[in-house]
Structure 1
């Protein structure tokens, strides 16, 4: 049989790269890794690639496209000149499958988080399900951005249970305009205790007393709304393992607090201490 076209016995690196669907730079990298043996060179001192080289290149490209790392491909080849060793590739594929399963689980988690953010709103959706479910009965816009920010910080430090319990506070404030107004007034009084106010300023104990009085009123309102019973149910669910920690806490609450910056002045910190002392006397 007469062939009108006879392919070359060897090709240069550019043709080899084009045929294998890669680049000359990638092929040079394969050489550096020891993944692809250096081929013989022609009279012009340029690499020449033969049939066996192309077979190995195709194996490399197909395995890399499947997600196998170049290091694993090199290990799978072993001492086999043309293709991967069956036992070696089986071990690599098993590890790769385990990695892909983990990646699939992570993608499902990420997609669920995105869907929750789209449903709940970008900020509320960042919170755990147990927190957002407790806030679900509130009308849209009832929670302020600062409320959601506070819940986000609380969840990072104390986990979903801590944030879910704290959510009860915002439930009561959102439902009672007068109580919300009083909360705003006390918050403003505390914020006024800035760095220009001395720790022994008479306003400090006065505002502490106002904070203590407000917290007593708020606690009574939460109890009247039955939120104390809801909190008990939350703790029971936590003890039963029904509330996951969301995998968020990689440090203790003490460590988290130590890494959280704040903008409280010494006078305001003293006010907070006095309010806690007043509460301990009740």
Structure 2
């Protein structure tokens, strides 16, 4: 024989929350947004919940588990919106979430395989550099690729990877790059932007850039770059779109370069443009 139990006619908010598998705070929120009608209060000033209230709380719990938003729940209860419209938008949201999860899992797998932060960059960039030894790339190389990917997208960073592949495999070019980096760092705020050394350093940067391009071409990396466009169209179309223009991105990325260093960069760009125009 089971003991005789008389169910209560109404329960307090804590008991209602416990039975429905939610919290009193959530129930109060449902009241505030009109998802659950607020019941009358008892003589002690506390809310009391009856059978119909509990049924709605249980349906809210089920719809929440299915991923239906609170706004859509309210519309469904009020029959103000076609349920097919709600379910259609829910399927779109779930599909997007599923795609995000797939990208996240792929990134984790790349991290495991690569064993360095390189695995966090796009598959197009990671694949391009995967044949290099783990210590061939410097943290500053990865930082540069990270910034380029943000500004120009995966394709731009994958093309830039040719530079780091060349530097990783050509000690002389790497040594010259290090020397130029040190010279750039010496262009602090104490250096006059119109000091002759600024123009001289720009000319050295231009010569180094041309040497890099020659090495890239000799190694056949420029041919690989042409293939990147096909690979990007076929495989990387699911990557997150660049969210701002390159110009806008550059203006939001702080570097804190001195006036002398900024002028050196401008002069280098002018020299490279002049060489490009002369060769065309």
Under a length normalisation based on structure 1, what TM-score does the superposition of the two structures give? 0.82
Hey, what's the Cα distance between the residues in 1 that align with 2:43 and 2:152? 72
Cα–Cα, structure 1 residues 110 and 274, in superposed 2: closer, same or farther, change >3 Å? same
Q: How does 1:1-282 map to 2 (within 5 A)?
A: 4-40=4-40, 42=42, 44=44, 46-78=46-78, 89=83, 91-235=85-229, 237=230, 241-242=233-234, 244=236, 246-279=239-272, 280-281=274-275
Contact 2:12 2:49 in 1 (8 A): yes
Contact 1:134 1:164 in 2 (8 A): yes
SS of alignment partner, residue 148 of structure 1: helix
Hey, what's the Cα distance between the residues in 2 that align with 1:50 and 1:234? 64
Aligned length: 273
Hey, what's the Cα distance between the residues in 1 that align with 2:55 and 2:223? 71
Contact 1:68 1:96 in 2 (8 A): yes
SS of alignment partner, residue 241 of structure 1: helix
Hey, what's the Cα distance between the residues in 2 that align with 1:21 and 1:232? 57
Output the aligned Cα RMSD.
2.9
Hey, what's the Cα distance between the residues in 1 that align with 2:264 and 2:5? 92
The CA deviation at 1:197 is 0.4
Hey, what's the Cα distance between the residues in 1 that align with 2:70 and 2:155? 45
Hey, what's the Cα distance between the residues in 1 that align with 2:186 and 2:100? 45
Contact 1:168 1:222 in 2 (8 A): yes
Hey, what's the Cα distance between the residues in 2 that align with 1:226 and 1:32? 65
Hey, what's the Cα distance between the residues in 1 that align with 2:156 and 2:13? 63
Q: Deviations over 1:1-36 (max 9, x none)?
A: xx8443333444444333333344444443444333
Q: Deviations over 1:144-172 (max 9, x none)?
A: 11111111111222222222222111111
Hey, what's the Cα distance between the residues in 2 that align with 1:243 and 1:100? 22
Which structure: larger Rg? 1
SS of alignment partner, residue 248 of structure 1: coil
Contact 1:77 1:88 in 2 (8 A): no
Q: Deviations over 1:118-164 (max 9, x none)?
A: 32234211222222222122112011111111111112222222222
SS of alignment partner, residue 190 of structure 2: coil
1:81 matched to which residue of 2? none
Cα–Cα, structure 1 residues 100 and 44, in superposed 2: closer, same or farther, change >3 Å? same
The CA deviation at 1:174 is 0.9
Consecutive unaligned residues of structure 1, counting only runs of 5 or more, are 79-84
Hey, what's the Cα distance between the residues in 1 that align with 2:169 and 2:269? 26
The CA deviation at 1:51 is 3.1
The CA deviation at 1:234 is 3.0
The CA deviation at 1:39 is 3.9
The CA deviation at 1:258 is 1.9
